[in-house]
Amino acid sequence: MRIATLAVTGVAAAVIGCSPATKAPTSWAYTPAHSQYMETLPPELKAELLRLRADMQLQRNSQYYNFHGDFTPDMIRRIDAVDRACTQAYLASDRVIMGNLTPNMSGLAKTGEEADIQSAVIVNTDMRSLSDDWRSFWLMDKPAGPTEVPVVDSTGR
């Protein structure tokens, strides 16, 4: 039964694309059309992206691009706007959300920060305990017991 559960979980993670950290492409204008990222975009956004790429190609052949070596300011603003829209659509897509339902959790019950804090508390407690054990090892944790030799008062009173 456990093997079947692990197999189903493994297949589901592979199909959904489970990953600990979801990152969108840095530039959608240069993302390949057959990329897995493109599959998550809505059709109208894909069409806008294709129009943007065609316009970018036209600008690359223009005098402005040949002289300045970059796109016009309007084209740069349009590229940024389409990049933002694609990133928002990608991060809000069902595939990405299903790939990591609990993005801040590092275990079943704790976030990464909570796990780090717990580790710090444990290390602190262990080091203080080690200090007590070290004093006990060197017999510095309590005064010596009664002795047969009298202790002389050397205070001068």
Q: pLDDT, tens digit, for every residue of 81-101?
A: 999 999 999 888 877 777 777
Is 6 inside any structural domain?
no
- Do 120 and 67 lie in one domain? The reply is no
Per-residue pLDDT, averaged over 60-75, amounts to 94
Q: Are 88 and 80 in contact (CB under 8 A)?
A: no
Q: 39 pLDDT band (50/70/90 cuts)?
A: confident
* pLDDT for res 58: 94
Q: Which domain holds residue 47?
A: 22-99
**26 falls within a domain:** yes
- Is 35 part of any domain? yes
Answer with the residue of higher pLDDT: 98 or 125.
125
pLDDT computed for residue 151 by the predictor: 67
Phi, psi of 105 (to 5 degrees): -85, 135
Could you give the residue ranges of the DSSP H alpha helices within the chain? 2-16, 36-39, 43-60, 63-68, 73-91, 94-99, 112-137
The number of domains in the chain is 2
Clarify whether residues 92 and 113 are in a common domain: no
Q: Give yes or no for residue 37 having a pLDDT over 80.
A: yes
* 66 shares a domain with 133: no
What average pLDDT does the structure give for the chain?
80
Give yes or no: residues 31 and 85 share one domain.
yes
Q: What is the pLDDT of residue 150?
A: 67
Higher pLDDT, 132 or 21: 132
Q: Pick the residue with more confidence: 99 or 51?
A: 51
Instruction: Please give the residue that has the higher pLDDT: either 143 or 62.
Output: 62
Q: Is residue 72 part of a domain?
A: yes
Token couple for 135: 């004093």
Q: Are residues 41 and 70 in the same domain?
A: yes
What percentage of residues in the chain have a pLDDT greater than 90?
39
Query: Bigger pLDDT: 64 or 23?
Result: 64
- What pLDDT is recorded for position 153? 67
pLDDT of 54-63, one tens digit each? 999 999 999 9
φ and ψ at residue 85, rounded to 5 degrees: -65, -40
84 and 127 inside one domain: no
Same domain flag for 35 and 82: yes
End-to-end CA separation in angstroms for the chain = 83
Instruction: Verify that 89 and 26 share a domain, yes or no.
Output: yes
